[in-house]
Structure 1
Amino acid sequence: MSWLLAAAEHTIVLAQTENYTPEAPPGVEGLKKLVRYLTWFVLLSGVAAIIFAGGKFAWEKWQGGMLESPKMVVGALIGGIVATSAGTIMNEIIRP
């Protein structure tokens, strides 16, 4: 055990790590604006999908047919959760 402690005292550090902070490249404002527009469109699409699925659910219930619209509602909700949390997910994956 003492040889392990002695070896640990004489180790050489070959690499040092630094915590770099991300910096936006020049001219990125247009890209940020595009991402904000796309986020808005995804949220609008999700709300429209939930409204459509709700209307279809009522129609299927009234007609007495097979209910397929609950799958649409669940799909729209899961898609909305993933789309709105994409930035948080990427920050957790990329962050050191």
Structure 2
Amino acid sequence: MILAAVTDTLLAQIGNPTPEAPPLADKITQMVQYLTWFVLLAGITAIIYAGGKFAWEKWSGGSMESPKMVAGAMIGGVVATSAGTIMNAVIG
């Protein structure tokens, strides 16, 4: 009973705080957008490189390692672009 009264008193004093962006939140958001752009650019570059290497291996008759590179770049791109969704599912 005493614990319930103390809890009610504390909750009444705390209230319902409104969310507020931290200082420099706009700069952090801009940095995340730049990093996202860089990751997408790196993924596109990796797929183009792997495609060229695939053509070279096919033409020269070498060992076929490039399909693994293409698959890795595509899987990495899927994980990188869905990172926000994954974190929301884990945390939320």
Q: TM-score, normalised by structure 1?
A: 0.75
- Tell me the distance in 2 between the aligned counterparts of 1:85 and 1:91: 10
Q: 1:84 maps to which residue? A: 81
Corresponding residue to 1:38 among 35, 39, 54: 35
Over aligned residue pairs, what C-alpha RMSD do you find? 2.4
Q: Aligned pairs, how many?
A: 81
Distance 1:82 1:47 in 2: 14
User: Post-superposition shift, 1:25?
Assistant: 1.5
> Which of the pair is proportionally richer in helix?
2
Aligned positions of 1:7-18 closer than 5 A: none
4+ residue stretches of structure 1 with deviation over 6 A? none
After TM superposition, the score normalised by the length of structure 2 is 0.78
Deviations 1:6-32 (A, max 9, x none): xxxxxxx9x9xxxx9864313211000
Q: Structure 2: 5+ residue runs without aligned partners?
A: 8-16
